[in-house]
Chains A and B, each alone.
Chain A
Amino acid sequence: MSRVAWSSSFSPIAGLDIESEMRLNSGLAGAFDLSHGDADTRQPLARVHSLPTLAEAAVRLRGVGKAFGTRQVLSDFELEIERGSFVAMVGRSGCGKSTLLRLIAGLERPSQGSVETLGADLAGRKVGAAGTRIMFQDARLLPWKSVLQNVMLGLPRRDPVSGDSARDRALAVLAEVGLADRAADWPAQLSGGQRQRVALARALVHRPQVLLLDEPLGALDALTRIEMHELIERLWREHGFTALLVTHDVHEAVALGDRIVLIDGGRIALDQPVALERPRVRGAAAFAALEAYVLDRVLHTLPGVAHEPWAADTQEAEIALERVRWAL
């Protein structure tokens, strides 16, 4: 460790500049021109189902484009998410789904277009001030703080509404995710699944209206993942927030989502409502058929081609079931 500290200190570490990073999020937003073209000239690629009215939209993206240098990750992206719904976004790695989530979280600024959450434009707002919280693939717990202190991060000392102390609120949420007895432990003493549950508690303690999940279960084993699905679904039902899950696991998307959005090449390639009963039965034929259909679309997406969503009448279900067998 010490040797590294000596040698690598010769050259400045590229990319990390805390001062300018913090400046970016306080004042830079005004520098962008966020006005966009006539709404009629932009056609959403996929048909939007049960188009929500303006008041209902928790997240609204209009003509959003994002480029990193010369690489265009998203272009002319349109998306509306209904309040209280659970939307799963799937796609191959590098399709732009994580960038999309980071745009909605306010961690990135769009190159074109506007991002609105809860009816307010994100530009000009401070990151973290909105009722939006994000959960990352790695739990990103502060290793030098106990589990409880991690959950209390950024909480006001007293809740302005209920008057409860930050500590009591954090303990209550930790109990909800089943980790009340680990409150005093260090994050390093927890398993991967437990760390993600702490991260979930840390997000929920702020009572977010929109919860963004950036492949939070990607690094967990299959069994823990199923447990986490149940936990996330239960908390989503109880708290009534809008959930936006980014995943590469189609099974996970079908198990959790009301609606599955397939992103390919920075565009929506499929917008599929999920009409299955909750709690979802993983072994059920309809579940498997839908999973196979979406997986098939993921595997065979052609750039720029939008697919009609699948309607579950009997004939098509049979075809889809054949596809399952073929896929297995």
Chain B
Amino acid sequence: MEITDKTINLLLGALADQLRVLGSHVEIVVIGGSALTALGLVRRATRDVDLLAIAENGELHLAEPLPQALLAARAAVASDFGLAENWLNPGPVDALRVLGVVDADLGD
């Protein structure tokens, strides 16, 4: 399945369902093409969903490493929708780290 403006909400909803089964609640901050797709601002397909940060207990921190529950939920959704294993990944975090951004900076 391609990640498009028509499917991204379905995929993120499925991710939420899987997290709920695992007894976990994770809020994610998505950037890049997938974020624009989710907002309906672009219609082109995207290869993956870029995660920048994760909110837990009201605090933001960088999305790497991904929590175990999110990894398990991601794997289940990948299997269910024929997606690449890393369809949801913290790729942008590396770029931020190169710029010297750390968890504490996300709170600002």
- The answer to whether A and B come from one shared complex is no
Interface residues of A (CB under 8 A from B): none
